[in-house]
């Protein structure tokens, strides 16, 4: 369970780092760019993708390029969501991306459905609505519509990433190799964006954003690495890993957001968090059943 704890900590720590970076006024595109430099190097050194395992020409390049484009885009959206909607809503939206990835698994990957999953999805949808609701008084002092559509974009983006990774894996591409290619291409795309901003807007590279970006990249990769290691350590308990990871992020993200950053939750938001916990538990129970 140690790997799971580390994965949960890394997941929430990414949101904390983004929150603190924006308080310092650091440039998010620069931060995201060097996040992918660190993640690419860490992937090469720690996961050691086997380039001999597949023929380069046979790789699903269209899906890999789409994945590499979505990754930095959703990272920028996540940073904006953390700033406008807070850590609690953003982290829960990320975890509830399964509301879209599970139906996609049913349509495209032959996922088996049962009443538990359907109940979990229904509760998850109610949870997302309840979590995003703001009173008029709260909306007047905050960012208004951005506090609900940014978390929804986070949910959509992470579901898209999950679906693309499954499609790439279904084609026989090893997970580590998929990550390596996606990280490197994402890095190149973001370097292109920084070059364009430099040429057309005179934007200068700031060492603070560069350094924090490298730290975020290592933390972000740590989340992935420890989650993979948790699955390998508990090969017969994927549902336990799934539930522990998602529930852990929901609970810790809520505690950090409210306790350390003073994010305010209304009673309906708290009810939504409780519904999210129940929804994840129901889906995990379904996965734990024979044939789930």
pLDDT number for residue 135: 57
Each of the 292 residues of the chain gets a pLDDT tens digit; together they read 789 999 999 999 999 999 999 999 999 999 999 999 999 999 999 999 988 878 888 889 999 999 999 999 999 999 999 999 999 999 999 999 988 888 888 777 777 778 888 999 999 999 999 998 875 554 444 457 788 899 999 999 999 999 999 889 888 889 999 999 999 999 999 999 999 998 887 778 889 999 999 999 999 999 999 999 998 888 877 778 888 899 999 999 999 999 999 999 999 999 999 999 999 999 888 887 776 6
Closest CA to 39 of 155, 186, 229: 186
Cα–Cα distance for residue pair 11/42, rounded to 1 Å: 16
121 burial (CB, 10 Å; 0-12 / 13-18 / 19+) is: buried
- The sign one gets for the Cα dihedral 120, 122, 124, 130 is negative
Structure tokens at 50: 């086997």
86 phi-psi bin (left φ>0, alpha ψ -120 to 50, beta other): left
pLDDT number for residue 140: 41
| Sequence-ordered list of residues with C-beta below 8 angstroms from that of 205, at least 6 positions apart, any chain | 30, 194, 198
Structure tokens at 76: 């920028």
Closest CA to 26 of 253, 202, 216: 216
Cα–Cα distance for residue pair 43/163, rounded to 1 Å: 21
Cα–Cα distance for residue pair 64/36, rounded to 1 Å: 15
Segments making up each domain of the chain, as ranges? 2-288
pLDDT number for residue 136: 52
| Number of Cα atoms under 13 Å in the Cβ half of residue 123 | 18
Structure tokens at 148: 């609900």
pTM more than 0.75: yes
Q: Write the pLDDT tens digit of every residue in 114-142.
A: 888 899 999 999 999 999 887 555 444 44
Max Cα-Cα span within the chain: 59
- Is the Cβ–Cβ distance between 103 and 121 less than 8 Å? yes
């Amino acid at each position: 369970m140690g790997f799971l704890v580390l994965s949960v900590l890394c997941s929430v720590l990414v949101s904390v780092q983004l929150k603190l970076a924006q308080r310092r006024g650091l440039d998010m595109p620069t931060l995201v760019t060097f996040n992918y430099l660190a993640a690419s190097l860490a992937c090469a050194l720690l996961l050691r993708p086997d380039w001999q395992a597949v023929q380069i020409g046979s790789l699903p390049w269209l899906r890999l390029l789409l994945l590499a484009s979505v990754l930095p885009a959703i990272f920028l959206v996540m940073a904006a969501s953390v700033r406008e909607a807070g850590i609690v809503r953003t982290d829960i939206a990320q975890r509830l991306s399964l509301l879209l990835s599970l139906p996609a698994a049913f349509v495209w990957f032959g996922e088996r459905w049962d009443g538990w999953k359907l109940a979990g999805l229904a509760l998850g949808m109610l949870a997302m609505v309840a979590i995003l609701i703001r009173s008029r008084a709260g909306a007047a002092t905050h960012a208004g519509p951005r506090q609900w559509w940014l978390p929804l974009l986070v949910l959509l983006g992470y579901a898209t990433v999950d679906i693309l990774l499954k499609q790439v894996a279904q084609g026989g591409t090893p997970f580590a190799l998929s990550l390596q290619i996606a990280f490197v291409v994402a890095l190149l795309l973001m370097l292109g964006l920084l070059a364009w901003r430099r040429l057309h807007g005179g934007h200068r590279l700031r060492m603070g954003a560069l350094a924090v970006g490298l730290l975020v990249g290592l933390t972000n990769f740590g989340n992935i690495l420890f989650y993979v290691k948790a699955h390998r350590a508990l090969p017969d308990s994927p549902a336990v890993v799934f539930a522990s990871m998602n529930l852990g992020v929901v609970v810790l993200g809520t505690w950090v957001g409210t306790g350390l950053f003073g994010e305010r939750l209304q009673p309906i938001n708290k009810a939504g968090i409780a519904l999210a916990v129940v929804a994840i538990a129901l889906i995990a129970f379904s996965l734990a059943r024979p044939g789930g």
